[in-house]
Amino acid sequence: MASKDSLKKIALKGLVAALLPLTMGSAWAADAPAMTDEEKATAKQIYFERCAGCHGVLRKGATGKNLEPHWDKTLPDGTKTSGGTLKLGTDRLSKIIAYGTEGGMVNYDDILTKEEIDLMARYIQHTPDVPPEFSLKDMKDSWKLIVPVSERPTKQMNNINLKNVFAVTLRDAGKLALIDGDTHKIWKILDTGYAVHISRLSASGRYVYTVGRDGLTTIIDMWFEEPTTVATVRLGSDARSVDTSKFKGFEDKYLIGGTYWPPQYSIMDGETLEPIKVVSTRGQTVDGEYHPEPRVASIVASHIKPEWVVNVKETGQIMLVDYTDIKNLKTTTIESAKFLHDGGWDASKRYFMVAANASNKVAAVDTQTGKLAALVDTAKIPHPGRGANFNHPKFGPVWATGHLGDAVVSLISTASDDPAHAQYKEHNWKVVEQLKMPGAGNLFVKTHPKSTHLWADVPMNPERDLAQAVYVYDLKDLSKEPTRLDVAKDSGLPESKAIRRATHPEYNEAGDEVWISLWGGKTDQSAIVVYDDKTLKLKKVITDPAIVTPTGKFNVFNTMQDIY
């Protein structure tokens, strides 16, 4: 959900229609609260910016609850049940929006005005509109090649250590900050799509690819004296993921992008973003039911094969897409569990670990055999980001995930069938330990091969003191309580009405610094707070009026190599 100022700015930039072009004349629930056309238009925009990611464009739910006016479903035991936003009513919905839930929904009373909260409580009692499709032709019409490959530098034209650059999302500003990790100085701030979800790097580390929630994808060339956007394309009206082709012989040849709406993925030229192919993900769920909105969540590039791992949220299907022959595309479809979200590689980079978060499971995909290795039961709503790999003193190699809905960090054994880890094989693909957190609402965990610490945030917790802090575990002694770091206090920024949420720990190239985003309100000062990983002492506060709502940060080297 978004502030009035952000809505005005987006409208002035001419993005309102492009961000979520909705068909007109759709049916509205007859007994829903009255709304004017102007109120509906404002609410649609807020819903897109703040709600659709978890609840879906059609509001059928995934990470978040179903928000249709009325729904019926049959439980596994055969019991029929029903519900819906109309049943909850405006007053109850307003309280949920304002104060959040224990299941991981953040409170919006410090983000939205009372009037906007009431507006959204009424809006979600109406039948959602169905957005239009977005074809290959639509993509081609949106494509802009700003600087042809022939006009780009043939060598690096600056003295920046590109491997230690951080690509930082400035969420509500629709921008990306590139920050020099060696000097802690802002190198360049560039326009991107709204609320960039991730940044990915080319195999060479030259290009930064971003994808915004409005579907706009950009490619930034860091070989220029100053970073330069060289091409853009729109994938659809709502997107989350991109990655390049990484396998030897295909370095940066292709880029793949996944959309929430329409439910599909697209393949583009890796250096120009020229659209090549669009593939729909609509189809049957792992339960055998048709779903109209199976969104593409995370996409990663395999290090051992010319394949992408494409995770389809609502169907629970994991697709291994072979990019050696785009014209005659070969895809292996693996059944796992519904509501696939984000994930990362285990330390061997053979197994991809992805959270089926509303099913409270993590799927382990063996990309070498092209089969599901395991479905691991976890605590409520796992949300690993990319997760974290380290060697447990008792259980050997593990991969960690935090949880939106439970106050623990789960450690899953990834010993697999590696002879070097034979002594740990009995624990393989099991949760071997749960580290206690002070509350639910974790989004990201992170460590580094050179570190003895595991960092965890809780930005989605409704308690200010928790959301503004991070927690650091000692990997040499996991029985110890984690060290609490009050990031908001350490930043030196004055207290604000909005909670400044500490989120997304990210290591530098050397593995001796951890950068935390302090994500404040759009009108409040925000910051990147840097800690020494060995001492856990404050090292630097990077703040500037241009640092608006910073969220994800991606170190070039660690992102290229999938180090976490």
Lowest mean pLDDT among 46-60, 223-237, 487-501: 46-60
Q: What's the CA gap between 8 and 349, in Å, rounded?
A: 44
What mean pLDDT is predicted for residues 93-122?
86
Cα-only R_g, the chain: 22
Q: What's the CA gap between 429 and 412, in Å, rounded?
A: 6
Helices (H) and strands (E) in the chain, counts: 10, 37
- Write out pLDDT tens, residues 279-311: 999 999 999 999 999 999 999 999 999 999 999
Q: What's the CA gap between 53 and 238, in Å, rounded?
A: 8
Q: Taking Cα atoms as reference points, which of 326, 454, 480 lies closest to residue 399?
A: 454
Confidence of residue 510 (pLDDT cuts 50, 70, 90): very high
**Coil, strand or helix at 187:** strand
Q: What's the CA gap between 144 and 233, in Å, rounded?
A: 6
- Write out pLDDT tens, residues 132-152: 899 999 999 999 999 999 999
Is the pLDDT reported for residue 539 higher than 50?
A: yes
Specify the DSSP element, H or E, that contains 85: helix 85-99
Is the pLDDT reported for residue 130 higher than 90?
A: no
Per-residue confidence (pLDDT) for residue 22, from 0 to 100: 38
Per-residue confidence (pLDDT) for residue 103, from 0 to 100: 65
Q: What's the CA gap between 303 and 258, in Å, rounded?
A: 19
CB within 8 A of 123, min separation 6: which ones? 35, 39, 40, 43, 44, 47
Per-residue confidence (pLDDT) for residue 526, from 0 to 100: 95
Write out the two tokens for 347. 């330390």
Domains of the chain, CATH where assigned:
4-123 (1.10.760.10), 437-564 (2.40.128)
**Half-sphere exposure for 34 (CA within 13 Å, toward CB):** 1
Cis peptide before 393 (omega within 30 of 0): no
Neighbours of 89 (CB within 10 A): 12
Per-residue confidence (pLDDT) for residue 29, from 0 to 100: 61
CA 143 to centroid of chain Cα atoms: 24
Instruction: Using a pLDDT cut of 90, give the percent of the chain over it.
Output: 79
**DSSP letter, residue 459:** T
Instruction: Using a pLDDT cut of 70, give the percent of the chain over it.
Output: 94
Lowest mean pLDDT among 115-119, 413-417, 489-493, 494-498: 494-498
Angle between helices 37-50 and 4-12 (to 10 degrees): 100
- Write out pLDDT tens, residues 349-408: 999 999 999 899 999 999 999 999 999 999 999 999 999 999 999 999 999 999 999 999
Is the pLDDT reported for residue 7 higher than 50?
A: no
Per-residue confidence (pLDDT) for residue 74, from 0 to 100: 75
**DSSP letter, residue 170:** E
Is the pLDDT reported for residue 445 higher than 90?
A: yes
What mean pLDDT is predicted for residues 78-85?
86
Strand-pair partners of 278: 266
- Write out pLDDT tens, residues 236-291: 999 999 999 999 999 999 999 999 999 999 999 999 999 999 999 999 999 999 99
For residues 181 and 173, the answer to whether their CB atoms sit within 8 Å is: no
Confidence of residue 81 (pLDDT cuts 50, 70, 90): confident
**Strand ranges for 192-252 from DSSP E:** 198-201, 207-211, 216-221, 228-234, 238-244
Higher-scoring residue by pLDDT: 476, 22: 476
Q: What's the CA gap between 553 and 549, in Å, rounded?
A: 12
Per-residue confidence (pLDDT) for residue 174, from 0 to 100: 93
CB within 8 A of 55, min separation 6: which ones? 61, 62, 64, 65, 66, 67
Q: Taking Cα atoms as reference points, which of 321, 413, 327 lies closest to residue 374?
A: 413
Per-residue confidence (pLDDT) for residue 63, from 0 to 100: 74
Per-residue confidence (pLDDT) for residue 1, from 0 to 100: 42
Q: Taking Cα atoms as reference points, which of 103, 131, 136 lies closest to residue 260?
A: 131
- Write out pLDDT tens, residues 19-72: 333 333 344 466 899 999 999 999 988 888 788 878 888 898 877 889 999 988
For the CA atoms of 210, 212, 218, 222, what is the dihedral angle to 10 degrees?
Answer: -40
Per-residue confidence (pLDDT) for residue 62, from 0 to 100: 76
Task: Classify residue 159 by burial, with Cβ atoms within 10 Å: 0-12, 13-18, 19+.
Answer: exposed
Q: Taking Cα atoms as reference points, which of 191, 214, 211 lies closest to residue 268?
A: 211
Q: What's the CA gap between 63 and 50, in Å, rounded?
A: 13
Write out the two tokens for 328. 């005659």
Q: What is the mean pLDDT of the chain?
A: 91
Q: Which residues are catalytic?
A: 51, 54-55, 105, 341, 383
Is the pLDDT reported for residue 4 higher than 90?
A: no
**Coil, strand or helix at 104:** coil
Per-residue confidence (pLDDT) for residue 30, from 0 to 100: 66
Per-residue confidence (pLDDT) for residue 345, from 0 to 100: 98
For residues 197 and 184, the answer to whether their CB atoms sit within 8 Å is: no
Question: What is the side-by-side order of every strand in the sheet holding 453-457?
Answer: 445-446, 453-457, 469-474, 483-486
- Write out pLDDT tens, residues 313-347: 999 999 999 999 999 999 999 999 999 999 999 99
Q: Taking Cα atoms as reference points, which of 240, 431, 263, 409 lies closest to residue 341?
A: 240
Is the pLDDT reported for residue 208 higher than 90?
A: yes
For residues 302 and 288, the answer to whether their CB atoms sit within 8 Å is: no
Length of the chain equals 564
